[in-house]
């Protein structure tokens, strides 16, 4: 793990591991590039914010979805949305609890 500075490999129970990380020192916990982990965090109410980068493209079939068709409904509230010069929108949401 030396190549991944400031990273923690989560092993075992996700709720316990995230609770320990949140109780520790440091700043925000960020997940980049792991839709499976993000889905699990959202499903288990462990996600505080969801930041989506919305690109101005339409992707055809064969792409992996962020959420499975049978995923439970989770309501989110928009916290902020900022367009970039390239047309990407950075949208931040919080789960409604």
Q: For each of the chain's 97 residues, which pLDDT tens digit applies? A: 467 777 778 888 988 988 888 888 877 888 877 888 888 888 888 888 999 999 998 877 777 777 788 888 889 999 999 999 999 999 999 999 8
Q: DSSP letter string over 17-56?
A: HHHHHHHSSSS-----S-HHHHHHHHHTT--S-EEEEE-S
CATH of the domain at 67: 3.40.430.10
Distance (Å, whole) CA 49 – CA 20:
18
Structural domain includes residue 2: no
**pTM score, two decimals?**
0.76
The backbone torsions φ and ψ at residue 54, rounded to the nearest 5 degrees and listed phi first, read -100, 115
Structural domain includes residue 22: no
- Structural domain tally of the chain? 1
Structural domain includes residue 24: no
Specify the pLDDT at position 2. Answer: 60
Domain that holds residue 67: 30-95
Specify the pLDDT at position 85. Answer: 97
Structural domain includes residue 46: yes
Structural domain includes residue 79: yes
Structural domain includes residue 1: no
Structural domain includes residue 78: yes
Q: Are 50 and 42 in contact (CB under 8 A)?
A: yes
């Amino acid at each position: 793990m030396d190549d991944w500075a400031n990273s923690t490999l989560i092993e075992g129970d996700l709720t316990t591991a995230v609770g320990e990380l949140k109780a520790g020192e440091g700043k925000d916990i960020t997940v980049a590039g792991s839709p499976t982990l993000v889905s699990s965090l959202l499903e288990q109410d462990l996600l505080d914010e969801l930041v989506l980068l919305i690109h101005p493209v339409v992707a055809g079939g064969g792409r992996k979805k962020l959420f499975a068709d049978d995923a439970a409904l989770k309501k989110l509230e928009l916290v902020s949305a900022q367009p970039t010069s390239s047309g990407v929108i950075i949208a931040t949401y919080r789960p409604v609890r």
